[in-house]
């Protein structure tokens, strides 16, 4: 199992859990925010739930409050690697 969440995987999760299609390349922009893509904290909460099921561990509290894809990936990947 991959122990590192990527922008491409995040784009897929946004589509399946928040119902919003976002290009992985757009998520990689250093200035990208979830707000500009229409992804709110409830959408991120659904993604966090999916990831907790996938990896079998808690994802850092507050990940669903991340403002940017990079901030979210940092929090999630830290939680994934800490439990590896």
Whether 1 is in a domain gets the answer: no
Cα(65)–Cα(19) distance, integer angstroms: 18
| Total-model pTM | 0.89
pLDDT of 8 higher than 70 = yes
Element containing residue 15 per DSSP (H, E): none
pLDDT at 1 over 60: no
Look up the domain containing 64 and give its range.
7-82
pLDDT tens for each residue of 16-72: 999 999 999 999 999 999 999 999 989 999 999 999 999 888 887 778 889 999 999
Q: How many domains does the chain have?
A: 1
CATH number, domain with residue 78: 1.10.1200
pLDDT for the residue 68? 96
* Angstrom distance (rounded) from CA 9 to CA 51: 11
Does the pLDDT value for residue 84 go beyond 60? no
d(CA 13, CA 10): 5
């Amino acid at each position: 199992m991959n122990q590192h969440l990527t922008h491409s995987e995040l784009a897929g999760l946004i589509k399946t859990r928040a119902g919003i299609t976002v290009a992985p390349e757009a998520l990689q922009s250093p200035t990208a925010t979830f707000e500009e893509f229409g992804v709110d904290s409830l959408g991120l909460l659904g993604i966090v739930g999916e990831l907790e099921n996938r990896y079998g561990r808690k994802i850092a509290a507050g990940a669903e409050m991340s403002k940017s894809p990079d901030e979210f990936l940092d929090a999630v990947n830290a939680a994934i690697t800490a439990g590896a």
